[in-house]
Amino acid sequence: LPLMLAHLSGSCLAFGPLRRLMDSANDRRLQTEQVVNAAAARCRDRLNHTLGTEWMRCVIDDLFEAQSEAQAAGSHRGIELEADELRRLLPGGTPGRNTNELTNLLRNFSCEVADGGSQPLRSFDWEFRPPEPCSDTGSVVGHDAQARYSYHKGFLPSGNDLKSERTTLAAAQATCLEDDHCAGFTTQADTLSPSAEMHILYKSSTEGQTSTNGWHAWHKKRMLDCSPAARARRSAPMTLRVHVLRESPPVYIVDD
């Protein structure tokens, strides 16, 4: 027991300095966050947004100014930046000692500011009417199985298998049409007689089509409904809310 108490006593003595180091590191992180957030807020108010290079350049310039003032006052408060910190922040830049910390703080500020981010200069409703994809003569419609497929000489590679069966081409086309997961099918056959049965492999994807002799593949087309009811649904205008963050160069945000 005395030995155990002595061991615990030594651990407690060692924990004291460690705790002070942890507290000091936490204080530094808190001070850094406060300095960066203050600069970010000033630039947001100045530019009315927290977007892109312009805002980051403003924040960095503000931080350099704050760093100079702190050094003149003999204080270490703030975050130490490289002379080319902006270039290091941009995509492809080489991070400096504190670049990652600065990146995280700027991202957190722009995402979590109390006002929800940059406030718009103005907002307006924009009505958008989607173009009608059906031509004047209509599109491929109806239930003709052959019209619902595109034929390719070759095979669909292994994988993405749904099922296989021995059946006729017409029956295979009908089966695939009824299955929403079926993207097409492939078979190996010397002839494509309508009455001949062949071994059909149904596929959930037609990616990787390979041309070769003796194999055949059918890709199911995505059909377009050109009925009057479908046209009417598509012709209904969409009303979107647009917020203008900056006029020139334009920065607009459209609500979902």
What is the tens place of the pLDDT at every residue in 157-191? 888 899 999 999 999 999 998 888 899 999 999 88
Contact by Cβ (8 Å): 221, 149: yes
Predicted local distance difference test score (pLDDT) of residue 61? 93
Predicted local distance difference test score (pLDDT) of residue 161? 92
Q: Indicate the average pLDDT of the chain.
A: 79
Measured distance CA(212)–CA(99) in Å, rounded: 54
Collapse the DSSP code of 238 into the 3-class scheme (helix H, G, I; strand E, B; otherwise coil) and give the result: strand
Residue type, 186: T
Predicted local distance difference test score (pLDDT) of residue 142? 42
Question: From the centroid of its chain, how far is CA 215?
Answer: 39
Alpha helices in 48-141 (DSSP H): 52-72, 85-89, 99-112
Cβ-count burial of 120 within 10 angstroms (0-12 exposed, 13-18 middle, 19+ buried)? middle
Predicted local distance difference test score (pLDDT) of residue 137? 40
Predicted local distance difference test score (pLDDT) of residue 210? 86
Domains and CATH numbers, the chain: 16-118 (no CATH), 146-220 (3.50.4)
Taking the model in full, what pTM does it have?
0.39
Predicted local distance difference test score (pLDDT) of residue 68? 85
204: nearest Cα among 182, 219, 223, 222:
182
Measured distance CA(224)–CA(173) in Å, rounded: 18
**Below-50 pLDDT ranges, the chain:** 5, 21, 114, 136-143
Predicted local distance difference test score (pLDDT) of residue 136? 46
Contact by Cβ (8 Å): 134, 224: yes
Predicted local distance difference test score (pLDDT) of residue 243? 85
Q: Which residues pair with 125 in a beta bridge?
A: 241
Two tokens, residue 217: 């593949």
185: nearest Cα among 176, 193, 177:
176
Predicted local distance difference test score (pLDDT) of residue 167? 95
